[in-house]
Chains A and B, each alone.
Chain A
Amino acid sequence: MIRFLDFANHTLFWYYLASNLGYLTMLLVALKTSARHQRRLESHRLNWIAGTPLAPPITVVAPAHNEERSIRVAVRNLLELDYPALEIIVVNDGSADRTLEEMRAEFRLRAVRAVYVPELKSALVRGLYRSSVDSRLLVVDKEPGGSKADAVNAGLNAATSPYVCVVDADSVLERDALLRIMLPVLADPQRVVAVGGIIRVLNGSEISQGTLRRVRLPRKSIEVIQVIEYLRAFLIGREAWGQGNMLMIISGAFGLFRTDLVRVVGGYRPNAIGEDFDLVARLHRHLLDQKADYHIHFVPDPMCWTEVPSDLKSLGRQRARWQKGLLDVLLLTRGMLFRPRYGRIGSFALPYLWLFEFAAPVIEILGIVTIVLAAVLGVLSRTFFLQFLLFGYAFATVISIGAVLQEEITYKRYNDWQDVARLVSYCFFEHFPYRQMHMLWRLQGIWQYMCGDVAWRPLKRKGLQSATIP
């Protein structure tokens, strides 16, 4: 027993060290990549791209479900995006409220029979409407499909552009977001098949008429901690994975794809829990099966701002769902593991996700149990235990401060001194008890998945309208 506990505690230590060293490596890669990206941006004048006749058309697909409070602002925001050839498709996913009526009134929608080829699976389409105010806007009204994937598929069926950008109707996009996300495509249209955009936390910021006026840090601790998490996940994690062409997740709130490829892989899987992750995994698989020379990029410029849960219950639900989505995709892609034809995805990215994303809550919770057991049995070295805690704490803080530094030296959206001071101080406070709660939510997600509980539960959100300043 004692030998087992000793072994378990050692394993926990090495696991923890490897996980943090992985993140440290990613931080260094991300810092280097960001610096290069910033320099590259100097030579890309976005207004030059906006004027080129060669910019390929984009269809923006925005699914909306019960968004009556914010839909007007959200659609107006989309119509104001800077891009020379744009089509906006809003999919009203069986809203029970006045979402469609709000759009009908604001954009003078008239029923049309636009070409809709039901190539991808989605619930029945009730009608198609085009705006008389701005003919670029098409609204697809459909029966509730029960998932975002179903709604996006309906939008994809109506899309007529070679590139499709999927956004959340309740997110705020910066005006030049499409120009920025298209930069990798314009630089190498043959190879770049998808581009992920960064998602930043909207809570606390000031917006007016769907446009971000001033970026501020949220007031609530739970929201500030999520800001740090997002910085760490996007500015370090995805930036580094993208650099190695191993990006496995393009956030559903803002991502660009080649339309033909999305159609070839069957669009979004309606019963997928993490539909964004699932789509990218299938794209990788398809392209690697075809032995295609391709790249899935990540663009770290701040472009898309979204509201994050502001209460523990909603956050817990969200994180449990993310963990279920992860497990769902990992199980579906298990055939890719360690197979040479899947290259670095099969031999590096997926094993990493299994080991450090899926298994993390299980190993950490088991670790805590063995440490307690060792303490009870009197075989725990108290000095070493304290040193281990201190080391883990200091190391994890390095990563979090590194993420803040990355934001600070590249995009610097938090201009207020107070905001930066709070952000940095939360880097020290997030490890307890938030981290442990997070682990429990993820464990709950795994358990729910194993019990077959994959139902989507709504999260409490305030909506864009509520954040609008007078």
Chain B
Amino acid sequence: MATAFEKLWRLGPAAFVLKAIVVAVVADGLLLAFILLRRAYRKRYFRRRDTRVFELRQQWDDLISGKIPYESWRGNSFDRRIIESIALDAFEAAGAEESARLLHFLRSSGLIEKRIFEARRFTGWRRLRALVALGRTRAPEGIPALAEALRDPELEAELAALRGLGRTASPLAAQEILIWLAEKGLCVPVLPLQSALVQCCAERPRMLLPYVQSAEGPLREVLGRVLGEVATPALGLDLVPFAGDPLDELRAATARALSHSQSNLAFDVLSELARDPAWFVRLRAIVSLGKFSLPRMIPVLLSGLGDSNRLVRLRAAEALVTYPGALLPIFQKVVAIGDGYALHAYLTAIENADLLTKLETELQSSHHLAASEKTHLGAVLSSGSLAVEELSSVGASRAATRA
């Protein structure tokens, strides 16, 4: 039996090369013709569209006030698409008053109703477009249609619906998303979901709590992250139980959320979380403590400065430089820690905040420090290295021995 290679060999190129030439030349011709025809068509279309956009913009106020009857353009898909696109673009950049006017126009002209109909009736690409437009209107009446699209088998439609619901920033939309999550679990990429929930739950973060408590696995992490983002002082004590949660993400969310609650309990919990085994929990705790700006936070922040993770060290240092009145005492304590990485992080933060000159001046003019200590601190500050301090202390001890 002949091998595949032998068969190919016998076939020989000449058997089809002529046909292949014809096919390739025809393909070249077709591709060229397609490019040229498409260009010509698009040129004509855009010229027509630009002219019409210009005309409609000139009549814009009459159009949205209804002086020009909606029926006169609503039936014409070309005009309708242009008007809707202008209105939605304007809506995204509009202030409160203008938004209300545009929303009234979108409602009374029937554009929202039409998009709701399309979002419910159509499938695939056309449904996707309707969902995007509906989301851009931020109209509450669009929420049920968007929520229905969350059950679409296509991931892209689900995402468009999710984004649309997020745009409405309404607790009602949050409710729909949470119910859907309870039904289907985590079935979409995390970030669009988090983003939508953050927008929708900002007004009523408490609604998340029962879902966080009952959720499991990755969904619990996602909801925890959202909770951390939207938490308010009012929620402070409700979050404390989560500080002992086995899920790192939830403890991090608690640490983030407690930044809004300036209570003693919050401080105690955050101090505890600043020693958490997970680095990002410690990071969140340090960032939250940094927002308190109370002197009693300084020891915890100083311990954060000696953390094994450099992001934690950096954030602790950034928080410490927000105590401008205590610049020199804090610097003394940082040097006393004897950790080169802690010193480095602190000096980085000092320089980034442009406080180096101030610290130098404070050091020079300080009356509380002994001259030798001033020299040591000055040397550490100028060299940015503890080695100098160690060398100086070695030098001082040698001098003492000699004496």
Contact = CB atoms under 8 A, between A and B. Distances in A.
A388 B351 contact: no
Nearest to B162: A43
A387 B12 CA distance: 13
A404 B38 CA distance: 13
B190 interface: yes
A398 B132 contact: no
A115 B344 CA distance: 7
Nearest to A111: B351
A420 B20 contact: no
B13 interface: yes
A14 B9 CA distance: 10
A466 interface: no
Given A394-B21, A401-B32, A39 B125 contact: yes
A186 interface: yes
A343 interface: no
Given A43-B156, A113-B384, A402-B31, A390 B21 contact: yes
Contacts of B128: 39, 42-43
Interface residues of B, number: 51
B198 A53 contact: yes
Interface in A352-402: 381, 384, 387-388, 390-391, 394-395, 397-398, 401-402
B46 to A, nearest CB: 10
Given A115-B348, A186-B192, A401 B310 contact: no
A54 B198 contact: yes
B345 A115 contact: yes
A54 B9 CA distance: 60
B159 interface: yes
Contacts of B39: 408, 417, 420
B131 to A, nearest CB: 7
Contacts of B13: 10, 13-14, 17, 384, 388
Contacts, number: 125
Contacts of A404: 35
B156 A40 contact: yes
A31 B167 CA distance: 32
Interface in B191-230: 191-192, 194-195, 198, 229
B132 A42 contact: yes
A27 to B, nearest CB: 10
Interface string A184-204: 001111100000000000000
Contacts of A14: 8, 13
Interface string B98-137: 0000000000000000000000000001001101100010
B72 to A, nearest CB: 28
A110 B313 CA distance: 22
Nearest to A114: B348
B354 interface: yes
Contacts of A424: 32, 35
B314 interface: yes
A398 B27 contact: yes
A288 interface: no
Contacts of A85: none
B348 A113 contact: yes
A201 B20 CA distance: 33
A115 B167 CA distance: 39
Nearest to B225: A54
Contacts of A114: 348, 351-352
Contacts of A409: 38
A187 B192 contact: yes
A424 B34 CA distance: 12
Interface string B265-280: 0000000000000000
A43 B131 contact: yes
Nearest to A20: B24
A349 B196 CA distance: 38
B31 A401 contact: yes
Given A189-B190, A391-B20, A47 B31 contact: no
Contact of B14 (A48, A113, A384): A384
Contacts of B32: 401, 424
A160 B351 contact: no
B284 interface: no
A135 interface: yes
The 10 closest A-B CB pairs, nearest first, are A394-B24, A112-B351, A43-B160, A401-B31, A13-B13, A113-B384, A186-B191, A395-B24, A398-B27, A391-B21
Given A42-B132, A43-B132, 14 more contacts: A39-B128, A43-B156, A54-B198, A117-B310, A135-B352, A186-B192, A187-B159, A381-B14, A387-B18, A390-B21, A391-B20, A395-B20, A405-B35, A420-B39
Interface of A: 10, 13-14, 17, 39-40, 42-45, 47-48, 52-54, 110-115, 117, 130, 132, 135, 160, 186-190, 381, 384, 387-388, 390-391, 394-395, 397-398, 401-402, 404-405, 408-409, 417, 420, 424
Interface of B: 8-9, 12-14, 17-18, 20-21, 24-25, 27-28, 31-32, 34-35, 38-39, 92, 125, 128-129, 131-132, 136, 156, 159-160, 163, 167, 189-192, 194-195, 198, 229, 310-311, 313-314, 344-345, 347-348, 351-352, 354, 384
7 contacts: A39-B128, A39-B156, A111-B351, A115-B344, A187-B191, A391-B21, A394-B27
